[in-house]
Amino acid sequence: MKFNNARNILLSVFALGLQFKTTEAVAYHTDKLEEGVILHAFSWSFNTIKEKLPEIKESGYTAVQTSPIQECLVGDNGNKYFGNWIYEYQPISQEIGNYIVGTEDEFKSLCAEAKKFGIKIIVDAVLNHMTTDINNCKGEWKNPKWYHEPAGINNWNDRYDVTQHDLVGLRDINTQNPEYHQKVLTMLKRIISDGASGFRYDTAKHIELPDDTNYGSQFWPTVLENGSEFQYGELLQDGTSRDTEYAKIMKITASNYGEKLIDAVNNNDFSVNRILEYDAHVDPTKLITWLAWALLAARKLTTPLFFSRPYGGGGENSQFPNLSQLGDEGDPLYKDDSVAAVNLFRNAMVGEDEYLRNPNGDTNVLMIERGNKGIAIINLKYEEYDINSETNLAEGEYENHTINTNKFKVADGKITGSLSPRSVTVLYNQESEKASIAEKDVSSSAKSINTGMMMIVLTTIFLLYIINYICCSCCFHCESYQRIDHWFINCFLFKNLRIDHFSDLDRNFFYFLDSLFNSLVRTSNNPSVNNRINNIVKGYKSSNNSISNIDILGSKKIVNRYRIYIFLIGGRDYGFSDRINNSPYKKEWECLFKCQTESGTYSKSPFLLRSAALLNDIMPVVCKRQHILFNKFKTNLSRNVNADNTVGQPSRANADPISDPSGIG
């Protein structure tokens, strides 16, 4: 039941690089769950997962793991603040469905739809305990006969204490009771009948094994015979976890290896000797791993688990910043171009051997070779790296499958090319006989998937996310920074609005925003998206809550700024849904635009407006030079963000007059 520290995920991802633009169509998919990649849709509702299945498929995932689906305690009056995820792990019965994930019928519908996409559903099962007070349980589960005598764990190095007593006050079930074994087995079979393919067993090490002296039971041998395809237990490894014994009967988590990789990323050290072993002393095919994604997903033996944390949490910030709620989609990092590229690489390399190599002994760079068909290269350096190394990769020319479409050449057993800073490079040749999934295999609600490059239409949440993490990536080694999206919100609420923080931002940051916007909406060749924006503008004009400012904006010919601004703060559905209409941001949005129309200048207007106006002015030029500006952005914005959240402005001598027709710094 451990909530993985969001910073861990953050650190691992910087090894990948954080570039969002396009994703490659799904070229490879593996039908074997253990050979693919699992998306842990932490606290997403069944309906949210169902809605996101096309994107999950496109990003190369084989399976989705849900949060617990048993009936659970409704805590905090049902408030869906994300910090209340703890109630999902407090069952009150063995009925299926709860107020966070949805009903059993919705679960069945999810499983049926996922099957059309070739995606399998894994369920998190809580079998060790119920909620803290059994009087809050339903029906027969109020009966003390199902439980051990109440007593907390006092000695975490004592296996009896760990397996037979209450975990953090949660009432420990008497898992030696054969009657309970049968009840669990019945529930698990019901979930499989509903359409699930497997289970993750929460707090597995807290349930005894058959050979635990004087208190062993047949719990695991009984309940694992449920007919599922894939099962694994959560084992946070320590002196009492008995990893080898659990791994004989099911797959287990490799938590120690995750900690090792985080330490490796922190220390910029991916030496082969440091990260080769999984640190669990069991068959690697029995391990489920979840961190330093490029390294884990590219390797051969384990089954990687990508933890989708709540939107807005991580780093130095709260794990639960209240920017989303229980049931919502998590942070969009799971569908990042680099993450998806590595997922698809893994699927394409099924059956290939692996070889890990530090080119020329450089421990800041790691090559993961899969037979002679493909290679994933992780560059931990903060600068470009020219690689010239021995390789097993077949001779030929290769283009990186991530957003950094660098070219590489393999000749005479050596690979040459340039690695972008803090990035992952994925190289392999697509084979025509391994086609993408057919349209007939997906539901009518799915997106059309082709074999070329596919543009992701990014939502506002996505764009705010990009801004946040691009800024954070250039100050990754700093101890002091504030999340950019929190910074925006402070401005929206007019709390300590300090315009001076915005006036000196790097112009290349604006260029990058513009490049992103052009990826988002290309007016010339994407009329469907353009029409959607026009409809948003029209809908906003007719809103009862609107003021006449939109007409003023139109008459001043700055409606395009409004369109861009919608993408910055408008909401995940591109419009003012009920949630947005009722939010406190809307009136501030109107006030900020009024400020923009009255000021008549860019330099004194708040950051978002200034950036939107600038984007509007330079869009035609930047559209033609996206890749140049993107590379320029990566090179020039490599300075620290100051403690007061300002970013140093580059010298005017570095300005590109061709790319800056507005003349605005």
Residues catalogued as catalytic: 202, 234
Please give the angle made by the CA atoms of 524, 526 and 532, to the nearest 5 degrees: 115
The owner of tokens 């698990």 is 188
Scanning 147-195, the segments in alpha helix (DSSP H) are 159-164, 178-194
Buried b / exposed e over 231-270, threshold 16 CB at 10 Å, is bbbbbebeebbbbeebbeebbbbbbbbbebbbebbeeeeb
CA distance 661 to 624: 14
CB 612 within 8 A of CB 564: yes
| Element housing 253 (H / E) | strand 251-253
Q: What does the CA dihedral 97, 102, 103, 108 come to, rounded to 10 degrees?
A: -100
Instruction: Provide CB contacts within 8 A for 463, sequence distance 6+.
Output: 516, 520, 567, 568
Nearest residue to 155 via CA among 261, 239, 228: 239
CB 347 within 8 A of CB 36: yes
The residue type found at 63 is A
CB 590 within 8 A of CB 562: no
Instruction: Provide CB contacts within 8 A for 454, sequence distance 6+.
Output: 22, 23, 24, 25, 58
The SS3 call for residue 424 is strand
CA distance 663 to 665: 7
* Tokens, residue 490: 């402070």
Nearest residue to 240 via CA among 218, 207, 289: 207
| Element housing 607 (H / E) | helix 607-624
Nearest residue to 317 via CA among 648, 629, 7: 7
Instruction: Provide CB contacts within 8 A for 97, sequence distance 6+.
Output: 69, 71, 103, 104, 106, 107
Give a three-class secondary structure readout of 335-374: HCHHHHHHHHHHHHCCCCCEEEECHHHCCCEEEEEECCCE
CB 288 within 8 A of CB 305: yes
**Cβ count within 10 A of residue 438:** 8
Please give the angle made by the CA atoms of 273, 274 and 275, to the nearest 5 degrees: 100
CA distance 216 to 413: 55
